[in-house]
């Protein structure tokens, strides 16, 4: 994964400390680095990818898997999830984040963006132990329907102060693996002052904002009725200059063409969570957003909106449901909608851009952090292997320099033996 989608068949990567210092064909790399002392890790026959990035996770909700199946979004929030979340202790958040992180790691995730949850200090302690990177955010609401009593008592000033304190305490901790962002849970529970002060505070702290945007038609209707705009949330956020390139917009399902242009022009990033969207929200115009130049990445959402926390499942779903949506909306098939290369970019470099971390992660290039996942394609569900974006092609034995005399201490890889 780099700007040209290079695939190095028989590749090698040199890592010094925690950064990539060389990448290319292994014959070139091994010749170049013969004199330095190094430890070789033999991964022949396997696939190396940048660590996958999940850009919409609710660590607090991991212990709530299964408490809100088959209900509409407002019932899900007001009657099931918020009463649960508002009763969490810091220790609950620590345990919930640990469990969530283990499931993320299991699907190849090395970095995630928290959508806004309870007890950032508990999350941060767990992330420290897990070894992941994370953009953590607090769940922030200061107004509107459905709030549990303890949350309804919170003032706008308290919401901003609490996040500033968390930023000072945890930002750039765990050897730089933890960033602290600002959260806006959703517009229906935010005053105008909370929105504009969040925008200004994020600018002042040079950090990001994570917010659920345009999730259901009711949200847009409410904004039209109460805030004097002719469409919905995105139109209103554009009006108050909230749309900026540090905004990560989750879901963003109910948006029109004009609003997609606004998102693209402002450099807003979108986290597409296909499983959660199919459960409660609808089909987001992802192909249109990508065509307009919006940076779209992938997220699982929380355990009770998905019941799974696998970013690989979301990659699979994103490819299929966006092809299916094309058939439904245009009356004809379009097999090129969201091809495999695009999906891989969404789960890696677009994820890094969404997390405002693309200078350091999201691709395997010299100078970037060595956040790498290794895929073993020699399992029954991945054989045979024909396409390098699904799995690498088999290499004829005479092209494999590992079997030459110079490197005869290596065993021939299993693929060749077979
Ligand atoms: Zn969410």
Query: Sorting pLDDT into bands at 50, 70 and 90, what band is 213?
Result: very high
Q: Which residues 6+ apart lie within 8 Å of 371 measured at CB?
A: 50, 51, 110, 111, 133, 361
Q: Which residues 6+ apart lie within 8 Å of 235 measured at CB?
A: 223, 229, 258, 259, 262
**131 φψ region: left (φ > 0), alpha (ψ -120 to 50), beta (else):** left
Q: At residue 246, what are phi and psi to the nearest 5 degrees?
A: -105, 15
Query: Sorting pLDDT into bands at 50, 70 and 90, what band is 396?
Result: very low
Distance CA 311, CA 308 (A): 9
Q: Does pLDDT of 408 surpass 50? A: no
| Å from CA of 65 to ligand 1 middle | 13
Query: Sorting pLDDT into bands at 50, 70 and 90, what band is 35?
Result: low
SS3 178: strand
Residue with tokens 């400390």: 17
Residue with tokens 């898997």: 65
CB atoms within 10 A of CB 106: 12
| Å from CA of 115 to ligand 1 middle | 6
pLDDT of residue 388: 63
pLDDT of residue 21: 94
| Å from CA of 300 to ligand 1 middle | 9
Query: Sorting pLDDT into bands at 50, 70 and 90, what band is 3?
Result: confident
Q: Does pLDDT of 393 surpass 70? A: no
| CA nearest to 356, candidates 219, 205, 158 | 205
| Å from CA of 240 to ligand 1 middle | 23
Q: Does pLDDT of 351 surpass 60? A: yes
| Å from CA of 211 to ligand 1 middle | 8
| Å from CA of 278 to ligand 1 middle | 13
CATH of segment(s) 52-354: 3.20.20.140
| Å from CA of 224 to ligand 1 middle | 23
Q: Which residues 6+ apart lie within 8 Å of 309 measured at CB?
A: 57, 62, 100, 103, 104, 107, 300, 303
The chain-wide mean pLDDT, for the chain, equals 90
Query: Sorting pLDDT into bands at 50, 70 and 90, what band is 381?
Result: confident
Per-residue pLDDT, averaged over 368-392, amounts to 79
**211 φψ region: left (φ > 0), alpha (ψ -120 to 50), beta (else):** beta
Inter-residue contact 157 to 201 (CB < 8 Å): no
| Å from CA of 249 to ligand 1 middle | 10
| Å from CA of 277 to ligand 1 middle | 10
Q: Does pLDDT of 409 surpass 70? A: no
Residue with tokens 């030459």: 404
Q: Does pLDDT of 214 surpass 50? A: yes
| CA nearest to 105, candidates 51, 46, 64, 41 | 51
| Å from CA of 51 to ligand 1 middle | 22
| Å from CA of 292 to ligand 1 middle | 24
257-269 pLDDT, tens digit per residue, is 999 999 999 999 9
pLDDT of residue 9: 84
Distance CA 77, CA 202 (A): 26
Per-residue pLDDT, averaged over 127-138, amounts to 98
Q: Does pLDDT of 224 surpass 90? A: yes
Q: Does pLDDT of 400 surpass 90? A: no
Query: Up-side HSE of residue 186: CA atoms within 13 Å toward CB?
Result: 22
| Å from CA of 228 to ligand 1 middle | 26
Query: Up-side HSE of residue 170: CA atoms within 13 Å toward CB?
Result: 29
| CA nearest to 58, candidates 38, 39, 42, 77 | 77
| Å from CA of 304 to ligand 1 middle | 10
pLDDT of residue 37: 66
pLDDT of residue 414: 33
pLDDT of residue 75: 93
Per-residue pLDDT, averaged over 241-249, amounts to 98
93-122 pLDDT, tens digit per residue, is 999 999 999 999 999 999 999 999 999 999
277-332 pLDDT, tens digit per residue, is 999 999 999 999 999 999 999 999 999 999 999 999 999 999 999 999 999 888 99
State percent of the chain over pLDDT 90: 78
Distance CA 364, CA 374 (A): 12
352 or 400, which is more confident? 352
Query: Sorting pLDDT into bands at 50, 70 and 90, what band is 356?
Result: very high
Query: Sorting pLDDT into bands at 50, 70 and 90, what band is 32?
Result: confident
Q: Does pLDDT of 394 surpass 50? A: no
127 or 68, which is more confident? 127
Distance CA 250, CA 273 (A): 8
Per-residue pLDDT, averaged over 214-234, amounts to 96
State percent of the chain over pLDDT 70: 92
Query: Sorting pLDDT into bands at 50, 70 and 90, what band is 197?
Result: very high
| Å from CA of 100 to ligand 1 middle | 14
Distance CA 11, CA 14 (A): 10
Whether pTM exceeds 0.85: yes
Q: Residue 189 burial (CB < 10 Å; 0-12/13-18/19+)?
A: buried
pLDDT of residue 403: 36
pLDDT of residue 377: 83
Per-residue pLDDT, averaged over 180-204, amounts to 98
Residue with tokens 């935010």: 190
C-alpha distances in Å from residue 329, one per residue of 277, 284, 294, 333: 17, 12, 20, 10
| Å from CA of 67 to ligand 1 middle | 15
Domain with CATH 3.20.20.140 in the chain: 52-354
| Å from CA of 397 to ligand 1 middle | 49
pLDDT of residue 399: 35
| Å from CA of 284 to ligand 1 middle | 14
| CA nearest to 113, candidates 168, 54, 154 | 54
C-alpha distances in Å from residue 90, one per residue of 21, 60, 119: 40, 10, 5
């Amino acid at each position: 994964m780099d700007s040209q989608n290079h695939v190095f068949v028989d590749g090698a990567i040199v890592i010094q400390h925690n950064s990539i210092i060389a990448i290319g064909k292994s014959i070139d790399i091994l010749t170049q680095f013969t004199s330095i002392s190094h430890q070789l890790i033999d991964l022949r026959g396997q696939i190396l990818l940048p660590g996958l990035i999940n850009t919409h996770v609710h660590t607090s909700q991991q212990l709530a898997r299964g408490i809100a199946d088959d209900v509409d979004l407002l019932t899900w929030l007001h009657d099931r999830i918020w009463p649960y979340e508002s009763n969490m202790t810091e220790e609950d958040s620590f345990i919930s984040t640990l469990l969530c992180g283990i499931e993320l790691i299991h699907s190849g995730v090395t970095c995630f963006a928290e959508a806004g949850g309870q007890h950032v200090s508990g999350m941060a302690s767990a992330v420290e132990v897990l070894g992941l990177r994370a953009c953590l955010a607090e769940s922030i609401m200061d107004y509107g329907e459905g709030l549990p009593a303890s949350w309804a008592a919170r003032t706008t000033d308290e919401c901003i102060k609490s996040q500033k304190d968390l930023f000072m305490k945890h930002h750039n901790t765990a050897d730089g693996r933890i960033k602290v962002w600002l959260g806006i849970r959703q517009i229906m529970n935010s005053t105008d002052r909370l929105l504009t002060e969040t925008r200004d505070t994020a600018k002042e702290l040079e950090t990001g904002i994570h917010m659920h945007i345009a999730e259901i038609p009711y949200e847009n209707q409410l904004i039209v009725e109460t805030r004097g705009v002719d469409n919905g949330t995105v139109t209103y956020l554009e009006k108050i200059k909230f749309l900026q390139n540090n905004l990560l917009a989750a879901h963003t399902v109910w948006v029109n063409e004009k609003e997609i242009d606004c998102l693209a022009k402002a450099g807003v990033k979108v986290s597409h969570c296909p499983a959660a969207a199919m459960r409660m929200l609808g089909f987001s115009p992802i192909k249109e957003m990508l065509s307009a130049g919006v940076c779209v990445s992938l997220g699982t959402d929380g355990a009770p909106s998905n019941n799974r926390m696998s970013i690989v499942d979301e990659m699979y779903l994103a490819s299929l449901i966006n092809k299916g949506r094309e058939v439904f909306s245009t009356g004809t098939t379009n097999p090129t909608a969201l091809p495999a290369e695009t999906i891989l970019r969404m789960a890696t470099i677009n994820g890094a851009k969404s997390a405002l971390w693309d200078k350091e992660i999201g691709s395997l290039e010299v100078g970037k952090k060595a956040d790498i996942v290794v895929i073993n394609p020699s399992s029954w569900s991945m054989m045979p292997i024909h396409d390098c974006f699904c799995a690498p092609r088999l290499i004829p034995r005479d092209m494999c320099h590992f079997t030459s005399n110079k490197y005869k201490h290596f065993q021939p890889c299993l693929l060749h033996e077979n």
